[in-house]
Amino acid sequence: MNNELTVGFPSLSRNESLARGVAAQFVSLMDPTVEELSDVRTAVSEAVTNAIVHGYGGAGGTVTMKLVSEGDLFTVTVSDEGRGIGDIERAMKPFYTTDPQSERSGLGFSVMEAFMDSVSVVSAPGEGTSVTMKKLLRRE
């Protein structure tokens, strides 16, 4: 069964739990294992936090999350229209953070890569960021 859901919400930190809750409900329809469900919740939380904290910073904006299921393949795309990323390769390095003073762990992308099968990032300065993550549910 293929399915699709797109939601948009303001870049408020309390919407991080809302977003991962929606993603978890969507993936639940695909009959995932407890671990797969936990992986998706964590990866979505990282991507949405990045959009809110780094994409928009203090400025407000809309975060869009698109969820797609095609058979056993789950795809989630989290997009913002914020400041964008100049050097994507550097941004994805473990422990790299743009803001060491604010206690960011610099692990957001590393967690996404560890918990999902693939992570791709499309971004340019001033043109927002779109993160697409895929996971094949194996139910093992």
Partner 1 sequence: MQIVCSREGATLRVALTGEIDQHFAAEARAKLDPLLGDGRIRRLIFDLSGVAFMDSSGVGMILGRYRKLTSFGGSMDITGAKAGVDRVLRMSGVYGLCTKGGGI
**Closer residue to partner 1 (CB): 13 or 25:** 13
Structure tokens at 81: 């229209």
Report the nearest approach of partner 1 to the CB of residue 13 (Å).
4
- For the bound state, the minimum distance from the C-beta of residue 55 to partner 1, rounded and expressed in Å, comes to 13
Q: Which is nearer to partner 1, 41 or 83 (CB)?
A: 41
Rule CB under 8 A: say whether 65 interacts with partner 1: no
Please provide the DSSP assignment of 67-104 as one string: EEEETTEEEEEEEE-SS--S-HHHHTSTT--S-GGGT-
For the record, the structure tokens of 76 come out as 């989630």
Q: Is 69 in the site for partner 1 (CB under 8 A)?
A: no
- Are 52 and 15 in contact by the 8 Å Cβ rule? The answer is yes
Q: How far apart are CA 102 and CA 24, in angstroms?
A: 29
Q: Which is nearer to partner 1, 20 or 83 (CB)?
A: 20
For partner 1, the binding residues in 86-115 under the rule CB under 8 A are: 103-108, 110-111, 114-115
Q: At residue 20, what are phi and psi to the nearest 5 degrees? A: -70, -25
22 binds partner 1 (CB under 8 A): no
Phi-psi region of 106 (alpha: psi -120 to 50; beta: other; left: phi over 0): left
Task: Check binding of 20 to partner 1 (CB under 8 A).
Answer: yes
Active site residues: 46, 50, 104
For binding to partner 1 (CB under 8 A), which residues are involved?
13-14, 16-17, 20, 35, 38-39, 41-42, 45-46, 49, 52-53, 103-108, 110-111, 114-115
